[in-house]
Amino acid sequence: MKALIINCTLKPSPQFSNTGALAQKAERQLRENGITAEIIRLVDYNIKPGTEADMGNGDEWPAILDKLKAANIFIIATPVWMGHLASTAQHVIERLDSIFHDEQFADKETGQYITYNKVAGCLITGNEDGAHSCAAQVLWAMQELGFTIPPNVNAYWVGMAGGEQYFYTYYTMRWMIANLTYFAKLLKDNPITSNLKKLKEMAEKERD
């Protein structure tokens, strides 16, 4: 079982990233659950703007997409800027848009996207406000892209660290990692059976 965490901090390596610190904590807990997690810091790569799987010209997104294909668990870790998810996190979502329109990402038999049977969650950091709004956008997009969203799979660290806030972040992260792990295993053993192609054909008949 594998997990991919994309750290969407705006700061390139080797600068310290709060979002990265939260991602590392998640990585340790995943490892305790027997899951190997890789953390990618997006700004360290040359990711082209666009909505295709490969935008060419040295685009380094395809290699990250390969890691996503191999993963059971996908986590977007993003800072909040102006009440909103970071441009880098939105960049990831845009690059995943190809899953909708590129045939290579849909099963020929069932029409299921490659994301079916994978689970997603998110981690958020910020200096004050916006965690819920960011989580809503990330998790909705993941659901739309074909990921399953288990209960309580967002943890955030907003404002000053320490004290009560610290505790809240820590136990919600433990809930998140436990539920992501449970569902990743559940879907590995029980792949989703919905045949999206046939269902679409049934809907086609309703048009008449």
Query: Looking only at residues 137 through 196 of this chain, which bind its own copies when binding is defined by CB under 8 A?
Result: 137, 139-141, 143-154, 156, 158-159, 166-167, 170-171, 173-175, 178-179, 182-183, 186, 190, 192-194, 196
d(CA 163, CA 160): 9
Record the tokens describing residue 125, joined without a space.
């950091």
Which 105-124 residues touch its own copies, going by CB under 8 A? 113, 115-116
Contacts of residue 87, Cβ cutoff 8 Å, sequence gap at least 6: 10, 81
Q: Is 45 in the site for its own copies (CB under 8 A)?
A: no
Exposed, middle or buried: residue 175 (CB in 10 Å: 0-12, 13-18, 19+)?
A: middle
Smaller CB separation from its own copies, 63 or 166: 166
Q: To which residue do tokens 């490892």 refer?
A: 31
Q: How far apart are CB 123 and its own copies at their closest, in Å?
A: 14
Measured in degrees and rounded to the nearest 5, phi and psi for residue 104 equal -60, -15
Q: Is 11 in the site for its own copies (CB under 8 A)?
A: yes
Smaller CB separation from its own copies, 69 or 200: 200
Q: How far apart are CB 180 and its own copies at their closest, in Å?
A: 10
